[in-house]
Amino acid sequence: MTLVTFFFVALIFRIAYLTLAEGENLTAKAIDQWTRDVPVTGERGNIFDKNGVLLVDTETLYTVYVRPVSVTDKTYTARVLSSVLGVSYENLYAKINSKVSEVTVAKKVTKQELNALLDSGVDGVYYAQNLNRKYVYGDFMTQILGFCNVDGMGQSGVESYYNDYLKGIDGYVLTETDLVGRELDGNITRYIAGQKGADVYLTLDSAIQNFVESAVNTAFIKNNATSASCIVMNAKTGEIVAMAQRPSFDLNDLPRDDVAKLFGMSKSTLVSNVYEPGSTFKILTAAAGLESGAVTTDYHLFCPGYRIVDGQRIKCWRTIGHGSETFAEGVQNSCNCLFMDVAMRVGTERFYDSLSLFGVTEKTGVDMSGEGSGLTIGKDLVKTVDLARMGFGQAIAVTPIELLTACASVVNGGKLMTPYILDSVVMNGKTIVKNYPIQKRTTISEKTSAVMREILESVVEVGGGKNAKVSGYRIGGKTGTAQKYKDGQIARGMYVSTFIGFAPADDPEYIMLFIVDEPKAGAYYGSVVAAPYAGQIFKNIFSYRGWAPAAFEEKPTFVMPDLTNLSVTKSVGILAEKNMYYEIDGDWDQNVVIKSQYPEKGSIVSEDNVVLLCL
């Protein structure tokens, strides 16, 4: 009797344990054994530009299954599925007659096709909802928006960086079945809805993005370039307004069969790649010189076409020299001798302090994956000749976004802003994340910034930036033409042509960096290859924003004369009479003749054009 009582008490405790401690687990196992679940993918959040223009949304497609044990008329079912979905009747019929528990018939089935199946009365056919990412404009903001993998999770760009906000929560359709998968009579189908992810709003303006995409594509094709790219940023806040690069691809037609191509072209080179900036870096050198007091605007120099530093002869781009110049004229002429002088006057210690302040030795913190960081020679290893070269943008490498952010601080009053691309995240109509401008530190004084704005505006008015000029508007900027290196040596014929510009020049709202990598169509100077496209983008922005031009005097146009076969001296004299800025490609003396020119003879030009003379 005692033994029976013991076993009875033990049984009660076991039942209590299973009910209280393991109840939920056992219930779940029972549901799993007696139901079939079909996933309902949680819809991914949409992506919008700053003005609410839809950039990315989701279209609903379906995957169709067949459970052979639930099919009454296998011949009829196979014929209907074959007809509606375009699958092989013979293959499908064979699968339906096999002993498998479930057959996947087709993926990416449309709502119309699914309705046709449901209306046909076939049994044993089931479906799962799939959500396909749809990029409204195809090859547009490709590297920014990114794409998702086959499971609907972000793999690059905004899709990846903000995946945790965008991704939805999956739901399920549960159907009661027997042990072999047949539906039970009177079964109850339960639908557990998925939850949509949050919507993401970017700082980008799709209208300005369109201007940039068009200009970049034209520059890439017309110059037969290895690549072309551009980034436009709000100079005051760090908000990225537009960003584009070529080559690229359509986000609705991913080259998944070529993984190297897919990930190579999906990387944002404006954020990840480093390059030797050339003359655009002179903006930072000039600002550092003025801010440190190493030079003033009254500084005068003589440029004979070179400087001897540490026993090495370092050329100015104009090998016969610029002669006597003021500080402003040296910037306008992009005179290498000026910037060597400034860097050496500032000295290694203060120059490197300035590099640190400008942020070119660290990541900017932009909210994009794969950001790179600038490269500099170790301060303890720098020789005077290295410092001189760094002054005009050699012997140092930066990412485009580092350079642009640093230059923005030069013209915005000295505020180094963190660039960003996310404006806000909205969930069920409520803003759950909101980004605001963040100032890292101050780089220069407002006084120095005002001087730099004025000087850089003169570069566009009368210097090498003339091709970026838009009549009636104030634009400042600086061109750059940097040689590329291969295997540690200067690669002949390989250049990076750039232009940094900002507007309005007196109170900048927009700042832009335009890059053409390895142009092969003839000209390669930034003043000729990059500046005109920047000017066109600015012109479109002014029109888009409704900014009226100031009163201006239209410059008279004339037919470009034929300068080929004339001596350099004669050609320069003709251009001087027409008040045209010129650049000369190659080493020369007064008797060397011109082999080719840009613009070509017969072109309609004005004094606002920059002329390139090739020897």
Residues assigned a catalytic role: 279
Residues 259 and 250: their CA atoms lie apart, in Å, by 15
Sign of CA dihedral 423, 425, 428, 432: negative
Residues 539 and 421: their CA atoms lie apart, in Å, by 24
What is the number of residues in the chain?
615
Residues 209 and 143: their CA atoms lie apart, in Å, by 13
> What type of residue is 27?
T
311 φ/ψ sector (left φ>0, alpha ψ -120 to 50, else beta) = left
Q: For residue 271, give Cα distances in angstroms to 230, 238, 300, 371.
A: 11, 14, 37, 5
The three-point CA angle 399-400-402 to 5° equals 65
Strands (E), 349-469: 415-417, 422-427, 430-434, 439-442
Residue closest to 410 by CA, chosen among 459, 351, 451, 366: 451
Asked if 528 and 431 count as a contact pair (C-beta separation under 8 A), the reply is no
Q: For residue 5, give Cα distances in angstroms to 19, 124, 285.
A: 21, 52, 94
Residue closest to 422 by CA, chosen among 171, 87, 48: 48
Residues in CB range of 126: below 8 A, 6 or more apart: 38, 64, 65, 66, 67, 175
> What type of residue is 184?
L
Whether the bond into 549 is cis, omega within 30 of 0: no
Asked if 501 and 453 count as a contact pair (C-beta separation under 8 A), the reply is no
CA 140 to chain centre: 11
Structure tokens at 237: 């806040």
Structure tokens at 350: 């203060």
Residues 550 and 468: their CA atoms lie apart, in Å, by 17
Residues 218 and 244: their CA atoms lie apart, in Å, by 12
Residues 509 and 278: their CA atoms lie apart, in Å, by 24
Residues in CB range of 577: below 8 A, 6 or more apart: none
